[in-house]
Structure formats: C-alpha cells, structure tokens
Chains A and B, each alone.
Chain A
Amino acid sequence: MIFSFDLLINAVVSGILIGGFYAAVTSGVSLAFGILDIVNIAHPAFIILGSYVAYIINTDLGLDPILTALLMTPLFYVLGAGIYQIYYVSFERRGQESLRGLAFFFGLLFITEVSLVLYFGVDYRYVNADYIGPTWHLGDVELPLRLLVPCVVSLVMIAALQLILTRTYIGRAIMAVAQDQLALRLMAVDPIRIKRIAFGISIATASLAGAFLIIIQPVEPSVGRQYIGRIFAICVLGGMGSLPGTVVAAMLIGIVESLTSTFYGPSWAPAVSFGFLLLTLAVRPAGLMGR
C-alpha cells in the first residue's frame, strides 16, 4: 500500500471536525457525571430524542435543525430538571444511587429508544439544510460543511458553557456543589436546586448535540448506543468534568478513530474508544486534565 500524505491530512482534519461534534455530545455527560456524579447512561437516548425533534420540525416547517435545537433547549432543560427531581427523590435522598439509580437510567434509555422505534420505525431519518451538501477545499484538504458547521457551533456552545461555569454565580455554585455540598448549604444555597439546574443544562446540551448528529449522519433510534462507550471514554480521558479537557479528549479520539477507519477499515473504529477507555482507567484514572 502506498502511503498517501493527502489521505493522512484529510483523515486528521475530518477527525478534528468529528471530534468537535463528540465534544458537544460529551459536554452534557461531563456536567452530569464529571461534576454532579450522576451516571446518566441515558444521555445518548436524549441526544437521539433531540435528533428526532430536529427531524420533525425540519420536515414539517422547514426550519434549520440547529436553530430548532436552540429553540428547543428550554424544553430539554425542563425535561432534565424533572428527571433530576425524580432521581433525587427516589434514589439520591435514600442513598441508593449506585445500583438502582443506574438501573433507572438504563430503563429510561430503553423506554426512549423503544418508544421511538414504535412510533417512527427503524428507518433512517435525515434533515435538509443548505450546508449539508457542499464541501470547501483548502488546497488538498477537504472541509465538508456537514462536519464543519456542527464542529464550530459545538465549540461555541462549549465556550459559552465554560464561561457560565467560571464567570456566573450559578456556574460557580455548580462547581462548588461538586466539591462541598455542606459548605454550599452554609452559604444559604440549596444544593438540590443547583444540581437540578446543572442537570437541566446537561440535558439541554443533548438537544443541540442531537441536531448535530442528524446533520452529520442519518439517524435511527438505536444509533445512540454506539455513542455510550465513546462518550464515557472521552469524559474519563478528558478528566471528568473539565470542559477544556473534554474538547481535547474528543479531538484526540476523533483523530484516532478517523485514522483507524481510513487505514484499517471502518469496522474496527468502534474498538478505538474502548481501548482508550480501558487504557485510561488502568493507567491514569484522573484523565488528561483531571484536577
């Protein structure tokens, strides 16, 4: 096989673009799992839900999927806050989150997925937007807008999240709740309210991530499962709750996956993230940018 420099550059570039999308997918989990310690394995299901909402509105009203997702974030926020309330009352308060809380989210994952299958069937769905077809060329490097647009919007979203977390009162309270709930309570802040807000934000990111997903590839209800391993691998590799770490880890996994599928074949790509996950857990559980 002749080693082609073109192929390598293009694989790396598309890895970075996909990585930007992975960062959006993972940011919600970084918030929920990394900061709040809620193992929300149903996150991919909410992302698929976001994809289907974007799909419905795009086919019925012709609205841009990303704009739709942005408009839908309040709805997802409320959904997330509601789920956290159930989770808190049923598990966290009773101290049963480890076993039954996990099973609860696993059940949610299944209910969402099967409901979507029953309603929409297992056909692949896709959206229409002006930027889905064309590709920009920079010399030999190809930049498909289908990947570039989600990547850029995703980075903007994560930057906004990072600003909220570090600069606003609510954001600092969210960071504080991860460190010391009692201290927060002594400052007259209700940690449960803060956690509810944070989990709401975490699910709200799924709305946008879902729109990105359906722009990048056609979606059917069980696609989300492929992301479970990837999401948590990125979250752990990025250092659990560090958003800059999440972006770096997402790009890294995006590049390695893209290289694997270019040079070894796409059927091997799913194994990459798991390899990374196991390696990280075994060698450096704190992740790349862990505190």
Chain B
Amino acid sequence: MSVRTPAFLAICLVVAAVVFAVSIAVGNDYVFFAGYVVLQYVVLSTAWNILGGYCGYVNFGTAAFFAMGAYSTVAIYKFTTGDDAYLAIPVPIPVLMLFGGVVSGIVGFGMGYLTLRLRGAFFSIATLALAVVLETLVVNWDYVGGSRGAYIIRPEQIAPIGSYIRYLFLIMMLLAVAALAIARLIERSRLGFGFATIRDDELAAEASGVPTLRLKLIATTISGALMGMAGAPFPYYISYLQPDSTFALDYAVNSIAMPLIGGTTSWVGPLIGAVLLGTVQQIITVTISSAVNLLIVGCLLVFFVIVAPNGIVGLVHTYLQRKPDDFVGRRHVDAEAPGSVP
C-alpha cells in the first residue's frame, strides 16, 4: 500500500476527472450546486482532521476560519469591482483562495500561539469564542456589508468551461484533491509521526524531545489555511453573503461529525464521512427540511462517538481483521487506531 505521492495525485485527478465528466453527462446544473457543497465539506473535514484527528486538538471554530476566507474575498471584491473601486481589475478565484488561505492561516497561527501552550480544552473553548468575536467584527465592519450582508455578482459564463458554477465546482474539486494529498503526505511524514505522538501522549512526547508547540502551530496553521481557502470562493457560489449564515455553527458541527463518523486516523475517514454525510444532507435538505438534517447530523455524531469510536474506517478494519488474510492483516499495523487502551 505504498503508493507514492505523485501516483496518488494522479489517481485522485483521474477520479476527479471522471466525477466531473459524469456530472456533465447528467446534464443538470443542480448536480454542480449540490456537488460543490459536498466537495466544500471534503476540504473542511480534511482540514479539521489535520488538527483534530492527527493531533487530537478539537477546533470548534471551523465557521470562523471559513468565514475569514469568504470575507477576505468580499473585501477584495469591493476593492476591485464596482463604481467606488480603487483598482478595477477582476481578481481570478485561485488568487482569492490563496489570499483567503493566508488570512485564515495567520489567524490560526495567532490563536494557536495564545492558547496551545495550555491544556487542549482551552484551545477548543477559545476557538468557539473566536467565531463569536469575528462575527462581531464583521457585523460592525460596513465595508464588507456589515449585518446587511454583501452582494457578489457571479458572472454567467467563463471562457473554456461554460457555466460559472461548473468552474466553481472544478476549482473546489481541485482544492479537495490538494487537501487530501496534503493530509496523506503529512500522515506519512515525520510531521505526521510527531502529530501522532502529541495525540497519544503529549507529556511523553515533550519529554522525548518532540517540539510539541511548534508541531501544533504548524497543524493549526495548515488546517486554518485550508478552511480559509474553502471559504474564499463561497461568496461567488452563494452570491449574497450574510454574517449569520456564514458564521453558522453548522460548519463546525459538520466538519467535526464528518471525520468522526468516517474515522479520524487517516485521510480516507474525512473523505468517506464528508461524501456520505454531505450527500445524505443534500437529499434531506431538499426532501424534508434543513433543521431535520442538522438533528440527524447531531444524533449520528453522538451515536458514532459512543458506539464506533474509530468511525466507519475503524468498523471496516475490525471486520477485515477477523479474516485470516495476511495482506489485509498487515495493513492495519501502520494504521492502528488511536486511543485504543491496552
């Protein structure tokens, strides 16, 4: 199972191309609108898992990092488009994503620097409060619309791809592939092993010379930056951005529930969780209601953390381990679940 990273990337891109081709073949743009949300959750839950799953630090502020990305786009949009713009140059979305990533990464680093030296719970509480404060700032910042919200005019068409939503879908898909590749790369590098020591026993890691604070800061920064990048194209998707819905706790609960349901130890878990839960949510939102859909997410989250602590990936592993298959058996050794008390 040692596929090298370039090969992994190639496989991912092929899969992504197939998904894109199938979506076009369906011939209905709604597929892209729904698919965009699912892909956005793939990025968010993978990003959350880099800190939460690998290091064991719970971030409740996904919405804050996501919204930072979204609002940095709004700020740049106001700066570059419209009548009172300072620079009349339309900024392409990939550039906006980079910018959003940098902003959220810096915020993640700052938050981490202030709170990560203390026990984990303080970091979690601080992230929870961060969302409230950033929302206060945005509500009071008239330039990006304040509490009234901001309109972003989405172009109808874009040159080679056709409708704009397809373009957004494609960009989010590439970001998802990048996020998965980063997560997988971390998992297999020295960095990932360092993260795992923090998760398993931080005190022992510190005593053995693992630079825990530096590693945690790296994790927070990468995780925050990815969330910001996922948020940057969002104003173009939704076209009317409003603080209440952008800072909604839905993002936090989803990005925690998805990795925990899928399995937190490897990059596969968040992917499975996001695709599964994201798709189910899209169906429930359309057929029943969005409140019911959140209730289901909450119940699933509680059910999984109690009954299946290692998520779907963990369940599959235990199931496969019962069979005397040597190849399958060896695979688990390197993907041994965390927190399994001897």
A187 within 8 A of B: no
Taking A100-B305, A106-B253 as contacts, is the C-beta distance between A118 and B295 under 8 angstroms?
A: yes
Closest Cβ–Cβ distance, residue A234 to chain B (whole Å): 12
Look across to chain A and name the residue whose beta carbon is closest to the beta carbon of B296.
Answer: A114
Q: Please pick, from B58, B114, B253, the residue contacting A110 in the complex, using a CB distance under 8 A.
A: B253
Q: Is A163 an interface residue (CB 8 A)?
A: no
Q: Which of B90-98, B134-142, B212-220, B273-281 contacts A (4 or more CB under 8 A)?
A: B134-142
Contact with B along A231-244 (1 / 0, CB 8 A): 01100100000000
A100 to B291 alpha-carbon distance, docked (Å): 24
The smallest beta-carbon distance between B238 and chain A, in angstroms, is 21
| Interface residue? A102 (CB, 8 A) | yes
Please choose the segment from A91-99, A166-174, A198-206 that sits at the chain B interface, where 4 or more of its residues have CB less than 8 A away. A91-99
Chain A residues lying within 8 Å of B297, measured Cβ to Cβ, are 110
Query: Distance in Å from the Cβ of B187 to the closest Cβ of chain A?
Result: 17
* A103 to B301 CA separation, bound complex (whole angstroms): 7
Task: Note all chain B residues with C-beta closer than 8 A to A106.
Answer: 60, 252-253, 256, 301
Report if B211 contacts A (CB, 8 A): no
Question: Which of chain A's residues has its CB closest to B292's CB?
Answer: A118
> Residue on A with the closest CB to B122?
A281
Q: Please, how many angstroms separate the alpha-carbon atoms of A11 and B256 in the complex?
A: 40
**B52 lies within 8 A of chain A by Cβ:** yes
Interface centre among A95, A107, A111, A225 (most CB of B within 10 A): A107
B302 & A281 in contact (Cβ 8 Å cutoff): no
In the complex, are the beta carbons of A236 and B122 less than 8 A apart? yes
Asked whether, in the complex, the Cβ of B309 is within 8 Å of the Cβ of A232, the reply is: no
- In the assembled complex, the Cα of A95 lies from the Cα of B201 at a distance in Å of 11
Alpha-carbon separation in the docked complex, A228 to B133 (Å)? 12
A155 CB within 8 Å of chain B:
no
Is the Cβ of B52 less than 8 Å from the Cβ of A107? no
Contacts of B147 in A (CB 8 A): 267
Bound-state Cα–Cα, A39 to B297, Å: 21
Q: Output the nearest chain A residue to B121 by Cβ-Cβ distance.
A: A39
Say yes or no for B132: interface residue by CB 8 A criterion.
Answer: yes
In the docked arrangement, what's the CA distance between A98 and B301, Å? Answer: 15
Q: Is the CB of A94 within 8 A of B339?
A: yes
A226 at the interface (CB under 8 A from B): yes
B89 within 8 A of A: no
Per-position binary interface string of chain B over residues 54-71, scored 1 when its CB falls under 8 Å from any chain A CB and 0 otherwise:
001010100000000000
Judged by a CB distance under 8 angstroms, whether B186 is at the interface is: no
Size of the B side of the interface (Cβ < 8 Å), in residues, is: 45
Let me know if A110 and B298 touch, CB within 8 A. yes
> Which residues does chain A contribute within 8 Å of B294, judged by CB atoms?
110, 114
A100 with B309, Cβ < 8 A, contacts A111-B299, A114-B291, A278-B114 known: yes
CB closest residue in chain B, given A37: B121
Given A103-B58, A278-B126, A226 and B132 contact (CB-CB distance below 8 Å):
yes
In the complex, the answer to whether B132 meets A229 with C-beta atoms within 8 Å is yes
- Decide if A86 is an interface residue (CB 8 Å cutoff): yes
Q: Mark A122-162, 1 if CB is under 8 A from B, else 0.
A: 00000000000000000000000000000000000000000
B125 interface hit (Cβ, 8 Å): yes
Q: Does A30 have its Cβ within 8 Å of any Cβ on chain B?
A: no
Contact of B132 among A95, A100, A274 (CB under 8 A): A274
Q: How far is the CB of B77 from chain A (nearest CB, A)?
A: 23
Q: What chain B residues lie within 8 Å of A278 (beta carbons)?
A: 114-115, 126
Q: Given A229-B129, A274-B133, A285-B122, does the pair A103, B256 have CB atoms closer than 8 Å?
A: yes
Question: Are B339 and A102 in contact (CB-based, < 8 A)?
Answer: no
Within 8 Å CB of B140, what residues of A?
267-268
Q: Kindly report which residue of chain A lies nearest to residue B60, judged by CB atoms.
A: A106
Chain B hits for A267, CB < 8 A: 136, 139-140, 147
A118 to B124, CA, bound (A): 28
**Which residues of chain B from 31 to 63 have any CB-CB distance to chain A below 8 Å in the complex?**
52, 56, 58, 60
Instruction: Report which of A100, A271, A281 forms a contact with B126, defined as CB distance below 8 A.
Output: A281
A interface footprint on B127-153 (CB within 8 Å = 1, 0 otherwise): 011101101110110000001000000
B161 interface residue (CB < 8 Å to A): no
**Cβ–Cβ contact B129 & A228, under 8 A:** yes
Closest A residue to B305 using CB positions: A100
Q: Which residue of B lies closest to A94 (CB)?
A: B341
Q: Which residue of B lies closest to A232 (CB)?
A: B125
Q: List, in ascending order, chain A residues with CB within 8 A of B120's CB.
A: 98
A10 contacts which chain B residues (CB < 8 A)? none
Q: A96-B309, A270-B132, A270-B133 are in contact. Are A104 and B302 (CB under 8 A)?
A: yes
Q: Is the CB of B302 within 8 A of A107?
A: yes
Q: Could you pull out 25 A-B pairs where Cβ atoms are within 8 angstroms?
A: A39-B125, A90-B305, A96-B339, A99-B56, A99-B264, A100-B309, A102-B58, A103-B260, A106-B253, A107-B299, A110-B298, A225-B249, A229-B125, A229-B132, A236-B122, A268-B140, A270-B132, A270-B136, A274-B129, A275-B133, A277-B125, A281-B126, A282-B114, A282-B115, A285-B122
- Contacts beyond the supplied A99-B339, A281-B115: 16 A-B pairs with Cβ under 8 Å: A41-B60, A41-B124, A86-B306, A90-B305, A98-B121, A106-B60, A110-B249, A115-B295, A226-B132, A228-B128, A228-B132, A232-B125, A270-B132, A270-B133, A274-B130, A277-B125
Q: Which 7 A-B pairs have the closest CB atoms?
A: A229-B129, A110-B298, A107-B302, A107-B301, A274-B133, A111-B298, A114-B295
Write the residues of chain A forming the contact surface with B, with a CB cutoff of 8 angstroms.
Answer: 33, 39, 41, 86, 90-91, 94-96, 98-100, 102-104, 106-108, 110-111, 114-115, 117-118, 225-226, 228-229, 232-233, 236, 267-268, 270-271, 273-275, 277-278, 281-282, 285
